[in-house]
Structure 1
């Protein structure tokens, strides 16, 4: 806020800036610039010529200082966007300095008329850039529609029977489109952007139980997430060629036991053979079959992890 409450210094002017010291309060800054003297038409033209012809920065300072109150007045028109007035004033001051740099006194107009465009242009750009995390207007035509549509909607609400109503009717959309010389579809699109708000992608840390899931919960695509895709590929390889290679590392009896226990299906679809069935087949105890199976599976895991 301190930067917004000091006079602009980009022109590196010496004496004129001393009239507005560094202030820590917006109201104090506004009172200070309101007390600055105004320039007559003759003084304004003289200072503008000194700046253009000789690069006189003191003259530029007098031109800027005498119009700081204009920036304050214009900034009040944009308080409805929820942005700090101090920041709006700072951006407007940048536009004022651009206007002073380009002002030609020989055109027959006062600086105040010329500067209004530059001040508003900088404030407009600041609002569009900071009003939302996601820009609502990216082209010059969209920015013009953005500001004009908000103004017209406020006027329509003031005249409407139900001022709390948010959406425009079809007739109002067509009326706005004619007033702004744009297509109704463009009005509908911009109104949709204005109505939407920023939504946090992640849930806040202190989310309460029962709160709806954040967008990250349903926007994430696990199907194509790199680590999961790699995991699936490795699993498929192990279930295919990797399993065959691991089985080849076993002696015939161990391989037969593993295949009978895990890879074969009985006629009744009840799964592979039991330890007792294999024990009867090989003429050993069920415990011995379990030991052979455990050793074989360990050897296969080593082969798969290699």
Structure 2
């Protein structure tokens, strides 16, 4: 083992433990400072350690490769600070990507680990940003995620895009203008607390108008009463009528299609249309009294 590799292997144990938790050293600044004090590996050292990881699953070699590239994660994570997420959390996710890269690294390909790891680090950070930037996901497919990150970078000072700008961005990203417009709307949405953070009677929070009143006890009782009136209650009220009155009410109002007219019933019973109207009015009065009881 060379002197540089040996010094890396004997590096601060606290920093090694902090790979999964950048805040373990006290502050994120202390972590970043410690990361930048770690020596870099030469290509020969990297190949040697990479073969040990690949061929022998040497965990100490993997640790050395990871520690020597932690500064890369710090550098990449800075590019995503504008999303309002904690820097330590971004670094932590990036470190996960770095570990995956080390596990899959093939030293015989002649490619430095730093070039190979960039993809894995960014992929983990992208996933974390999309998962946590909004309570409701703004991008669920690979194409939407690509559009999400590019659009945020290309929007001038976060301003609303006009039609010409949307067309230019769509052409540059090879997507439809409708896709750009839809993603802009998603990104422009703001989250809102369901309940007011303060106990203020004057504050009108979403919980006030988004609540479901369908299961409220009074509403349930009212629906049951209406169902009763439309069902058994109506049948009972009709039973109280004499046959002629029941026939008039049913023919006029309880037919699926085209109820009978006053003149139709007048001809059927051999009386005037006015008499049919009077019988109907008396029947309704009697039924209302029965339903109200």
1:216-295 residue pairs with structure 2 within 5 A?
217=209, 219-220=210-211, 222=213, 224-225=214-215, 228-229=219-220, 231-237=222-228, 241=232
CA displacement, residues 148-172 of structure 1 (integer Å, 9 cap, x when unaligned)? 001111xx44xxxxxxx72111111
Is residue 49–residue 62 contact of structure 2 (8 Å, CA) maintained in 1? Answer: yes
Among 120, 123, 131, the alignment partner of 1:121 is 123
Q: Mind listing any 5+ residue stretches in structure 2 that lack a counterpart? A: 1-8, 18-23, 240-280, 287-291
Tell me whether 1:198 sits opposite 2:191 in the alignment.
yes
Report how far residue 204 of structure 1 moved. Answer: 3.9
Shift of 1:214: 1.8
Query: Where does residue 181 of structure 1 map in the other structure?
Result: 174
In 2, Cα distance between equivalents of 1:240 and 1:181? 61
Task: Find the aligned partners of 1:207 and 1:139 in 2 and give their Cα distance.
Answer: 41
2:134 matched residue in structure 1: 132
CA contact (8 A) 1:49 1:105 kept: yes
Change (3 A) 1:205 1:236: farther
Q: State the distance in 2 between where 1:49 and 1:85 align.
A: 32
Residue in 1 that maps onto 2:71? 69
Q: Does the 8 A contact of 1:48 with 1:104 survive in 2?
A: yes
Quote the residue 2:13 is aligned against: 18
Structure 1: segments with no counterpart, 5+ residues: 1-13, 158-164, 249-265, 273-299, 302-306
TM-score (norm 1): 0.67
Instruction: Call closer, same or farther: CA 1:231–1:77 in 2, change over 3 Å.
Output: same
Q: CA RMSD in A?
A: 3.5
Structure 2 residue aligned with 1:36 = 38
The 8 Å contact of residues 102 and 113 in structure 2, kept in 1 or not, is answered as yes
In the alignment, the residues of structure 1 paired with residue 57 and residue 105 of structure 2 have an alpha-carbon distance, to the nearest angstrom, of 13
Per-residue CA deviations over 1:82-105 (Å, capped at 9, x if unaligned) read: 111000000000000000001111
Q: Distance in 2 between matches of 1:119 and 1:140?
A: 16
Aligned to 2:99: 97
The alignment of Structure 1 onto Structure 2 pairs a total of residues equal to 236
TM superposition shift of 1:197: 0.8
Cα deviation, residue 15, structure 1: 5.6
TM-superposed CA distance for 1:241, in Å, is: 2.9
